[in-house]
């Protein structure tokens, strides 16, 4: 056995510690995973789930709350409400807890258990809507509940991520510039569409600075954002039942619609290779994989990964859940 003191002294990074004074402050913009070996093209995936709220939504949440404070809409001790399928709710719950606001999240029965529990852990009041509006669906029912609460209590501020300009501005200020600086010669940038905050903000920035990449939006089959018919969706995050007010098709070059079963397969394929991504990431990468398959060798691709996989252990990564929600007999083995 080696004498312990004879072992070489390890070299350690002597840089100053990175101190945070708020939980939303950490949203590293420079972390990418090289998945070129898996996709047969130069593919770098920008990881937006590596922050304390666990998803890309921390950026929009912080920007929207900051703006409400700046403009006086939100005062110390104030109340905030938002309709969220989960990730924005978790980010807002975290920020509200830290800044001393009361937060009500109106979600529906597709919100996964982990997000529900996280929001409650931060002290949020969570309302789960389980009856669809016959015309506007579950999202419509959620929004109606928000309107009712605001009508009853004028002191409650509705963040309204689908129409809030600070949602896309957060990405115009951070994610877009980060991609342009790291990949000035990228040929394609793939961005998932939920509220389209990430997509609109990045695309507007990249077009504004004359970046050469094609901007490719990735949405979920059943989402209505780009004019497709509404359909059942089981994976929260991307897609929506109501066209977001902030979407800007003038800066989008292409749209790809991904069936949810492809999302599940992509997530599981990457997990088998050591990367446990969330459903939104699976959708973006599934759309990207089909699109780049016939591109010339050497095409430089950047894809934004909005989330990680732990919150999907009971759904995408659970065989029984998948069999209960998809016809896997027709589409082959998982």
Task: Give yes or no for residue 78 binding ligand PLP (CB under 6 A).
Answer: no
In the region spanning residues 277 to 316, those forming contacts with ligand PLP, defined by CB under 6 A, are: 278, 280, 306-307
CB nearer to ligand PLP: give 196 or 315.
196
CB of 308 to ligand PLP, least distance (A): 9
Dmax (CA) of the chain? 74
Helix (H/G/I), strand (E/B), else coil: 45: strand
Specify the stretch interacting with ligand PLP by CB under 6 A; choose among 27-35, 62-70, 86-94, 129-137.
86-94
Helices 113-121 and 87-99 pack at an angle, to 10 degrees, of 10
The residue at minimum Cβ distance from ligand PLP is: 194
Task: Give yes or no for residue 256 binding ligand PLP (CB under 6 A).
Answer: no
CB nearer to ligand PLP: give 108 or 307.
307
CB nearer to ligand PLP: give 192 or 222.
192
Strand partners for 189: 215, 302
Q: First CA to last CA across the chain, in angstroms?
A: 47
Read off φ and ψ for residue 161, nearest 5 degrees: -60, -25
- Asked whether the beta carbons of 37 and 27 are under 8 A apart, the reply is no
CA distance 330 to 249: 35
Task: Please give the full DSSP string across 238-270, using - where no structure is assigned.
Answer: S--SS--TT--GGG--EEEEE-HHHHHHHHHHH
Specify the stretch interacting with ligand PLP by CB under 6 A; choose among 79-87, 99-107, 127-135, 151-159.
79-87
In the region spanning residues 178 to 237, those forming contacts with ligand PLP, defined by CB under 6 A, are: 192-199, 237
CB nearer to ligand PLP: give 32 or 162.
162
CB nearer to ligand PLP: give 325 or 328.
325
Helix (H/G/I), strand (E/B), else coil: 226: coil
Residues forming contacts to ligand PLP in the complex (CB under 6 A) are 55-57, 85-88, 192-199, 237-238, 278, 280, 306-307
């Amino acid at each position: 056995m080696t004498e312990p003191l004879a072992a070489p002294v390890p070299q350690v990074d002597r840089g100053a510690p990175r101190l945070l004074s708020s939980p939303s402050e950490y949203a590293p913009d420079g972390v990418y995973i090289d998945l070129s070996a898996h996709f047969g093209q130069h593919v770098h995936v920008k990881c937006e789930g590596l922050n304390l709220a666990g998803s890309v939504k921390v950026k929009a949440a912080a920007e929207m709350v900051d703006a409400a404070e700046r403009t006086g809409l939100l005062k110390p001790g104030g109340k905030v409400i938002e309709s969220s399928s989960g990730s924005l709710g978790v980010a807002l719950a975290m920020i509200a807890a830290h800044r001393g606001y009361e937060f009500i999240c109106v979600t529906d029965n597709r919100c996964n258990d982990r997000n529900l529990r996280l929001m409650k852990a931060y002290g949020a009041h969570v309302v789960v809507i389980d009856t669809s509006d016959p015309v506007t669906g579950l999202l419509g029912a959620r929004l109606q509940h928000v309107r009712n609460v605001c009508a009853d209590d004028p002191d409650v501020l509705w963040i309204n991520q689908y129409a809030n300009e600070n949602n896309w501005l957060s990405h115009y200020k951070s994610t877009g510039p980060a991609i342009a600086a790291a990949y000035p010669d990228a040929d394609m940038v793939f961005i998932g569409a939920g509220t389209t905050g990430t997509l609109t903000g990045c695309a507007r920035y990249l077009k504004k600075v004359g970046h050469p990449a094609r901007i490719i939006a990735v949405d979920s089959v059943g989402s209505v954002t780009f004019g497709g018919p509404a359909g059942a969706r089981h994976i929260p995050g991307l897609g929506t039942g109501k066209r977001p007010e902030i979407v800007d098709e003038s800066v989008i070059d292409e749209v790809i619609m991904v069936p949810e079963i492809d999302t599940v397969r992509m997530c599981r394929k990457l997990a088998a290779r050591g990367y446990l991504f969330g459903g939104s990431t699976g959708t973006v990468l599934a759309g990207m994989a089909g699109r780049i398959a016939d591109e010339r060798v050497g095409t430089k691709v950047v894809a934004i990964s909005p989330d990680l996989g732990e919150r999907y252990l009971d759904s995408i990564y659970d065989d029984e859940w998948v069999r209960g929600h998809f016809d896997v007999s027709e589409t082959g083995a998982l």
